[in-house]
Amino acid sequence: MKFDTPAGENPIDRLAVIGRPVDRYEARLKTTGTATYAYEHHDVVPNVAYGYILGAAVAKGRIVSIDTRAAEAAPGVLAVVTHENAGPLDRGKFYVQRMLAAPEVDHYHQPVAVAVATSFEEARAAAGLIRVAYERAAGRFDLAAQLDSAPVPPPAEFGGPTESRVGDFAGAFAAAPVTVDETYTVPDQAHAMMEPHATLASWDGDRLTCWTSIQQMNWGTRDVAAILGIPRDHVRLVSPFIGGGFGGKGTAQAELILAAIAARAVGRPVKVALQRSLMFNMTIHRPKTIQRVYLGAERDGRLTAIGHESWSGNLEGGRTEPTVISTRTLYAAPHRLTRLRLATLDLAEGNAMRAPGEAPGLMALEIALDELAEKLGMDPVELRVVNDAKTEPEKGIPYSTRRFVECLRIGAERFGWSARNPLPGSVRDGDWIVGLGMAGAIRGAPISKAGARVRLDRTGTVTVETDMTDIGTGSYTVVQQTAAEMMGLPLDRVVARLGDSTFPETPGSGGQQGAPSVTAGVYAACAKLRDAVARRLGFEAGEAVFADGRVSVGDRSLPIGRAAQEGDLVVEDLIEFGDLSKRFAHQTFGAHFAEVGVDAFTGEVRVRRMLAVCAAGRILNPKLARSQVIGGMTMGIGAALMEEMVVDARRGFFVNHDLAGYEVPVHADVPHLDVHFIDEVDPTISPVKAKGIGELGLTGVAPAIANAIYNATGIRVREYPITLEKHLAGLAAI
């Protein structure tokens, strides 16, 4: 199916099951602990061995020698794989990291060897017996020290152009009566998903099957094949359940590649998991950014100039963190300049983490707006309303939907924003100083071609297969809902099978395009199945009504399963998208409101309550969407208050590389979170008219909290996370 004109009314609009807060498809499996995550595939292949990865002990330099003799002689050891015996390894496409130091070391904890043994304990013990001699070299580890040497890189596949200009930014900024020019920093952040990276790799001749934890099957097979130098159709990946990814499992990470190599080396299946303490330096992360934001405004609050320049660092060839993308589209202003700069750093690779670009970018931009509002003596909500963009400010095209002002207005109303005292430090509650803050939110709404296979059997049950993954988001459920709606079936007559690369291709879980893309693919396949069913039953395809497990035209009605009486009906289709995303700006919008208390004596910050208002097209399932948003809000609390990978700038590594040192919000840190959805559909995005929401829920959260802290204390912290020592000294004055 080709989707190139806006959708009219279709079977999805009946909303019999779409748009309803139905329970998760896999809820019982997860709550009973019987959903099989990557490391838990125990009986799928016999004779499994275990691999344990040794990470480099230096950040930059080269391996002079590796002595594996003691490890190889240790009990149960089958092999020790290093760059000397691994065979050639190419790089994938998405990442620039190399999966083995060979012999140059690019970053700390880059894999150096994998010890393989008959048990996990033997493999771990053997890894400890490998002796590696390194020659250390000087590295570049401190982004701040590299600013002057950081060029504007060429445009990349992600994040659009690296520089954009509209009008005369410099002139307009210089002439503006009210300006903000401040620098903000967002530190290196870890995905810190619950399930570690893990893979069971098994070869059958020259064909490889990996039970693994990967968000994007299509990238995974592409990259595994490229790295190992084997045909793509010889690679099968299986990930039925994924314990969180946040972009950290976009495609193959080291454990997948090394499990495959180790399995080939020992001639039996090998299982490898990354222990938590390797994950922070061995895999990817959200790279630190230093961001300078310029705002120039008239006294009535109208922005005349917006500028945003942002620095990040990466390994040679790595991508920039595209923080400026939301600055290009959130607010109107005639004169604009955005620019990304990229330094070379010898730290682990920076790459996608939930709302790459928007999440850290808004952490800067939305504080700057708060600073401007204060200078203007204007309410922060009103400032954003006044500067709402009517058309896309850089491309000049219309937004398909843009309900940003409603998000702001409804949020202000529901949160009780009018009670806010704009004077910092003016509200006390015992020892607590109380503040309210808000921020706007925006995240692009990409959508990509997606396929699905649907099978109707004689019992009237439809089975859907796609390579879509479920990273905790609810993919199974929205696939089930879409097929049920299309075929007029109750939910329990739809079986959803996901997470197998042999199923029809989708973009997988990433960039919040999973749900909109896969539901559109299921729509296409089901549209085809409806035609086939109607034909089989002797109905005119356009006239048949599918409802309650029956197909009817006029007063003639048959159970749907009758169409499969002679054998299953199986059809497959792929939805492809025309140029609607070029004719319309596809975005999702939101507004976040936060109330915090700051302990006047200790500086401790507690988030007291938060509200998110989101506009993201049709909400497929409000229960799941709310889960997505409150997950994003929780992550935003972490970004605002806790999360930071601390760089040892002498030795070149992330020091706090475990969940004791890398703090994320726990239950006690998270108060009641309220979520409200704006009722809208976007017929230009797909026949299902839904956009993603998983990343929108994070963007804007941290700056709303930062602005609330400022409203409480009057101390502007521009360096995340806002830990108590950053405002403690100033609190004495309040």
- Residues serving a catalytic function are 695
- Which residue stretch of 180-188, 240-248, 455-463, 658-666 sits at the interface with ligand MOS (rule: CB under 6 A)? 240-248
48 binds ligand MOS (CB under 6 A): no
CA–CA distance, 679 with 480 (Å, rounded to integer): 22
518 binds ligand MOS (CB under 6 A): no
User: How would you class 131 by CB atoms within 10 Å of its CB: exposed for 0-12, middle for 13-18, buried for 19 or more?
Assistant: exposed
- Which residue stretch of 36-44, 241-249, 336-344, 683-691 sits at the interface with ligand MOS (rule: CB under 6 A)? 241-249
CA–CA distance, 385 with 411 (Å, rounded to integer): 12
Among 19, 446, 511, 636, binds ligand MOS (CB under 6 A): 511
352 binds ligand MOS (CB under 6 A): yes
Q: Distance between terminal CA atoms of the chain?
A: 63
- Which residue stretch of 274-282, 346-354, 550-558, 668-676 sits at the interface with ligand MOS (rule: CB under 6 A)? 346-354
- Provide the minimum distance between the beta carbon of 215 and ligand MOS in the complex, in angstroms, as a whole number: 6
**SS3 per residue for 26-88:** CHHHHHCCCCCCHHHCCCCCCCCEEEEEEECCCCCEEEEEEECHHHHHCCCEEEEEECCCCCC
- Provide the minimum distance between the beta carbon of 273 and ligand MOS in the complex, in angstroms, as a whole number: 20
356 binds ligand MOS (CB under 6 A): yes
- Which residue stretch of 353-361, 414-422, 530-538, 543-551 sits at the interface with ligand MOS (rule: CB under 6 A)? 353-361
247 binds ligand MOS (CB under 6 A): yes
Nearer to ligand MOS (CB atom), residue 146 or residue 253: 253
Q: In this structure, are residues 526 and 487 in contact, taking their beta carbons and an 8 Å threshold?
A: yes
- Provide the minimum distance between the beta carbon of 510 and ligand MOS in the complex, in angstroms, as a whole number: 3
- Using CB under 6 A as the binding rule, the residues of this chain from 49 to 88 that contact ligand MOS are none
Which tokens is 123 given?
Answer: 């493999």
38 binds ligand MOS (CB under 6 A): no
Nearer to ligand MOS (CB atom), residue 53 or residue 701: 701
- Which residue stretch of 4-12, 57-65, 352-360, 388-396 sits at the interface with ligand MOS (rule: CB under 6 A)? 352-360
- Provide the minimum distance between the beta carbon of 248 and ligand MOS in the complex, in angstroms, as a whole number: 8
- Which residue stretch of 225-233, 289-297, 350-358, 644-652 sits at the interface with ligand MOS (rule: CB under 6 A)? 350-358
Q: In this structure, are residues 310 and 323 in contact, taking their beta carbons and an 8 Å threshold?
A: yes
Which tokens is 203 given?
Answer: 């070869």
Hey, is 263 helix, strand or coil?
A: helix
Counting residues that bind ligand MOS (by CB under 6 A) gives: 11
CA–CA distance, 489 with 484 (Å, rounded to integer): 5
Hey, is 269 helix, strand or coil?
A: coil
- Using CB under 6 A as the binding rule, the residues of this chain from 413 to 432 that contact ligand MOS are none
- Provide the minimum distance between the beta carbon of 684 and ligand MOS in the complex, in angstroms, as a whole number: 22
- Provide the minimum distance between the beta carbon of 444 and ligand MOS in the complex, in angstroms, as a whole number: 11
Q: What is the DSSP letter of 288?
A: P
Which tokens is 414 given?
Answer: 């529901």
Residue 470 CB neighbours (<10 A) = 26
DSSP bridge partners of 164:
338
Extract the runs of DSSP E, i.e. beta strands, from 504-656: 545-547, 550-553, 556-559, 569-577, 587-599, 605-615, 647-648, 653-654
Among 507, 510, 597, 631, binds ligand MOS (CB under 6 A): 510
692 binds ligand MOS (CB under 6 A): no
- Provide the minimum distance between the beta carbon of 247 and ligand MOS in the complex, in angstroms, as a whole number: 2
For residues 205 to 224, the per-residue mask of contacts with ligand MOS, x marking binding by CB under 6 A and - elsewhere, is ----------x---------
Nearer to ligand MOS (CB atom), residue 525 or residue 633: 633
- Provide the minimum distance between the beta carbon of 216 and ligand MOS in the complex, in angstroms, as a whole number: 8
CA–CA distance, 188 with 289 (Å, rounded to integer): 8
635 binds ligand MOS (CB under 6 A): no
Q: Angle at CA 70, nearest 5°, toward 66 and 75?
A: 135
354 binds ligand MOS (CB under 6 A): yes
Distances (CA, A) of 492 to 34, 459, 496, 527: 20, 12, 10, 20
353 binds ligand MOS (CB under 6 A): yes
What is the phi/psi pair of residue 266, to 5°?
-100, -5
Nearer to ligand MOS (CB atom), residue 250 or residue 296: 250
Residue 516 CB neighbours (<10 A) = 30
- Which residue stretch of 48-56, 239-247, 269-277, 641-649 sits at the interface with ligand MOS (rule: CB under 6 A)? 239-247
Q: Which residue is nearest to ligand MOS (CB)?
A: 247
Per DSSP, helices labelled H in 324-395 are: 358-376, 380-386
Q: What is the DSSP letter of 348?
A: S
User: How would you class 492 by CB atoms within 10 Å of its CB: exposed for 0-12, middle for 13-18, buried for 19 or more?
Assistant: exposed
244 binds ligand MOS (CB under 6 A): no
Q: Give contact residues for ligand MOS (rule: CB under 6 A).
A: 215, 245-247, 250, 352-354, 356, 510-511
